[in-house]
Amino acid sequence: MINTDSSLLGVRFLGSGSAVPDRVLTNQDLAQMVDTNDEWIASRTGIRERHIADGENDSVANLAAKAGQKAIAAAGLNPHDIDLIILSTSTSDDLFGTAGRVQKILGAERAVAFDLVAACSGFVFGLVTASQYIRTGVFKNVLLIGADVLSRWVDWQDRRTCILFGDGAGAVVLQGTTPEQNNLLGFEMRSDGKGNDLLNINYLGRSTFDSITMNGQEVYRFAVRQVPEVIEKSLHYANLEVHDLDWLILHQANQRIIDAVVNRFGIDPAKAVSNMGKYGNTSAASIPIALNEWVEADKIQKDHLIAIAGFGAGLSWGSAVFRWG
């Protein structure tokens, strides 16, 4: 939901940016590693290739900083203008947090910086968190980054999971404005710990973690059941209908999930942003990477109405409705 108290400040969306590793791993490449093929992967997921980290230059911190630099430049600001950096990631370079490293690389010396862990819902949860600091007047300029390097935790012999994930980062700059100019119109967040065991990277002891494990069928059922409901809630709080939207940007997990949500709402499939064919599932980075790609292509323009929805491990899921600009 969203607090409609008129004394609260508004939130503007000033700029976006993204970054992905140079190395591309195609379905054909994967077919040389495990028992799979391009047709099997693409028909079940919509994914044909993904970008994979290759060395320290592709750390979470470096990818996040590159995306952040682009977003800050697109916003017409400089790093010293940033008051807060929220890094949504589940694959931190450091268990104590990576946002401080991003702050250092950017030279954003005035900014408070911290990590937020909510897996594939991380960008949505980060957006809602950032908005609370802005609307209460604590911070004016916030850099929100979603970044993950999931390839670190993939078992490349497990064809059920290794076909899905890629690496990357996406970012937006948010700024406080007058209540009348508020562009964050509604949101909803949910969690259900009873499904926690459906998607994990578990600690094994002695400073080691397991690879990604996932019950794909159950996660799919959860997503197609819960995502439309949470979008409807966000639209309700925004006093909007689904057909008012210019764009729908879901977490890029599986094309079948996007298709199911589109069919549920009966909207034009062209409104549903999809770029997982090029990037795969980049967790907290997937929504901002897709958003930035459509902004850079001039598809998303000022005042367009956008609904986003993230969903994944936790289980967690959430949605937000906003006007770009």
- Assess whether 304 carries a catalytic annotation: no
Question: Is 78 among the residues known to form the active site?
Answer: no
Structure token digits, residue 216: 């794909």
Collapse the DSSP code of 66 into the 3-class scheme (helix H, G, I; strand E, B; otherwise coil) and give the result.
Answer: helix
Catalytic, 202? Answer: no
Question: What pLDDT sits at residue 204?
Answer: 87
Given the residues 120, 162, 183, 254, select the one marked as catalytic.
120
Please report which confidence band the pLDDT of residue 7 belongs to, taking 50, 70 and 90 as the band edges. low
| 203 — pLDDT class (breaks 50, 70, 90) | confident
Active-site pick, 141, 251, 254, 292: 251
**Predicted model pTM:** 0.95
Q: State the pLDDT at residue 214.
A: 84
Burial of 81 (0-12, 13-18, 19+ CB in 10 A): middle
